[in-house]
Amino acid sequence: MAFNLPLIGPISALSIFGLTIGATIIYILLNALYNTFLHPLRRYPGPPLWSTTAIPYTLANIKGELPFRVLAFHRKYGPVIRIRPNELSFTDPEAWDDIYGLHSGRRQNPKDASAYTPPMPGVERGIVLANDAVHGKLRRIYGPAFTPRAVEEQSGMVMKYANLLIEQLKRAVEKEAVQDMSAWYNFTTFDLTGEFAFGEAFHCLENGGQYHFFLTTVFNGVVTGLRMMQFERYGLLTALKPFIPKSAMKPKEDMDQYCKELVDRRLERGYDPSTNDVFNYLLQNKDPEDQLALDDLYENAIALVVAGSETTATLLTGTTYFLCRHPETLKKVQREVRTAFKSDEDITVKVVNDLPYMIAVLCEALRIFPPSGFGFPRFISAEKGQMVAGHYLPLKTVASISHHAAYRYERNFARPDEFIPERWLPEAPAEFANDKRGVLQPFMVGPRGCLGKNLAYAEMRLLLAKMLWHFDFELADPADEWYEGLKAFMLWEKDLLKVRLTPVER
Ligand code: HEM
């Protein structure tokens, strides 16, 4: 016995290990065979390896390349393609409502949670991933803070940050003409979203254009969260957690922690009749049904900051870049803004809605550089399956529309890789007559569409109009191809955008 034990021990362990590996390989092979020859989606075109296993999709997602790969596949295989064994990607405008809309006789198609940053542990009432009943309630609770009227009431606050951006940027330009516009837009939208949500800015602008640690934390936290969820796709997150280095989890933990502090501080201040921030709406609502637990307030605070700041800043950075790369378009939009007003004071949240060419520029920026570039995957929930853009999808199939792919696809837009705002004008040149404008849905459609759309429009229009009125701008390095090589997760990983600014003398 004493002789045998050490021998049997290692042999048994080795055998078990070998058996496990063997069984895993057999499982993967059988699964691949099933996905290729028997799966209900087997007849849909797509890259063969991606239809066989989800691994290439997951790797592309982790590397921030998924939207680019999906576009390349649409260009090769057509408008409806298989990008994971169980997922179809669409590009037709009608697919928006079919996948994301609300239809009588069936419930909403639920989100694929593995595409999102995980919520704080134990939280089920975060607006982004809540179930339908809780989500409906959250939209009712948060909705009043986002109506067109509520946003109009906040126009003074939007104006305050637009003016602060211009004032601080002018000061900075006196010292150094070349500025990183990606950072300045981030400072502005974070400050603004902080005040909009909690009545407390991050003071990036007031401090002369300085990063608050929370800005980088938010982006890193979201990307870490997304990468973590890629493991969860295979049910591995819990098993692997002990092996993930603490430093890798830190950005997400820091983001959660700081949001808690923000919420705690705001709750301490309580209801404040002098402000209109989102928390005031929550604190004003005394209906016992509508009271949220502290953890839910924390989680939703993160959702607001992430959804509200990175997105708008990304759009403005992209708009500035594409305008710099197209000096004729830049001149045209400058002319529109500079002739529409007599003075800076005339530029208000309301009147910037009457600048058709500038609005066309922003539409084109949303098309060519949508702040959320990837496709938000949804599970088909109808027991008997449903039709999406004329195709039958069985229950539990995943369906998505990749913003980047649908907006750059030649069957939807003529000259899709070119920045041509004219395509959005009522008198668009004939070559754009067949553009499928309805496919552009950067804020999504249906009950889970963007809650902050009204605020986003007010911000982007006012900030861009003010920038165009006050500054001439060009790329510091005219050959800078800022866009090339960016990574696209749910948000874009932006590089510095170095722009030479010259204040306009009047
Ligand atoms: C250009 C700017 C923006 C774009 C392109 C954008 C885009 C989106 C998209 C695509 C979604 C849906 C995500 C999903 O299906 O999971 C979304 C949701 C959301 N957005 Fe925005 N967004 C922008 C600005 C804002 C702003 C300024 C706010 C508020 C401060 C905001 C707040 C939200 C919230 C709270 C949700 C979750 C809605 C829900 O699940 O019911 N967004 N946004």
Q: Measuring CA to CA, how many Å separate 265 from each of 217, 270, 298, 306, 432? A: 19, 9, 12, 19, 52
Residue 400: φ, ψ to 5°: -155, 165
Q: What separation in Å is there between the alpha carbon of 172 and the centre of ligand 1? A: 31
Q: How far apart are CA 62 and CA 377, in angstroms?
A: 16
Q: What separation in Å is there between the alpha carbon of 454 and the centre of ligand 1? A: 10
* Residue among 282, 311, 316, 364 whose CB has most ligand 1 atoms within 8 A, to mutate: 311
Q: Whose CA is nearest to atom 20 of ligand 1?
A: 450
Hey, where are the domains in the chain? Answer: 39-503
Residue 222 is predicted with a pLDDT of 72
Q: H or E stretch including 7?
A: helix 4-37
Asked if residue 303 has its Cβ within 6 Å of ligand 1, the reply is yes
Look at residue 129 and give its three-state secondary structure: coil
CATH class assigned to 39-503: mainly alpha
Indicate the length of the chain as a whole number.
506
Contacts of 342 (CB under 8 A, 6+ apart): none
Q: What angle is formed at CA 460 by the lines to CA 481 and CA 179, rounded to 5 degrees?
A: 45
Predicted TM-score (pTM) of this structure: 0.92
Q: Cα-Cα-Cα-Cα dihedral of 98, 100, 104, 107, to 10°?
A: 120
Residue 69 is predicted with a pLDDT of 98
31-70 pLDDT per residue, tens? 999 999 999 999 999 999 999 999 999 899 888 999 999 9
Contacts of 299 (CB under 8 A, 6+ apart): 119, 120, 123, 125, 126
Residue 36 is predicted with a pLDDT of 94
Contacts of 450 (CB under 8 A, 6+ apart): 307, 443, 444, 456
In what side-by-side order are the strands of the sheet with 498-503?
Answer: 178-180, 498-503, 471-475
Residue 239 is predicted with a pLDDT of 67
Q: What is the C-alpha radius of gyration for the chain, rounded to an integer number of angstroms?
A: 25
Asked if residue 376 has its Cβ within 6 Å of ligand 1, the reply is yes
**Chain CA centroid to CA 164, Å:** 26
Is residue 181 within 8 A of residue 499, CB to CB? The reply is yes
Contacts of 319 (CB under 8 A, 6+ apart): 361, 362, 365, 369, 460, 464
Residue 5 is predicted with a pLDDT of 46
Asked if residue 450 has its Cβ within 6 Å of ligand 1, the reply is yes
Asked if residue 443 has its Cβ within 6 Å of ligand 1, the reply is yes
**Which one, of 390, 407, 410, 408, lies nearest residue 399 by Cα?**
390
Q: Whose CA is nearest to atom 16 of ligand 1?
A: 128
**Which one, of 440, 424, 398, 404, lies nearest residue 96 by Cα?**
440
Look at residue 388 and give its three-state secondary structure: strand
Look at residue 378 and give its three-state secondary structure: strand
Report mean pLDDT in 10-residue bins for the chain, 506 residues: 50 77 87 94 97 93 93 98 97 98 91 79 76 91 93 94 98 97 95 90 89 77 71 65 71 81 91 87 86 86 84 96 98 98 97 98 98 94 95 97 98 98 97 98 97 97 98 96 90 92 95
Residue 9 is predicted with a pLDDT of 58
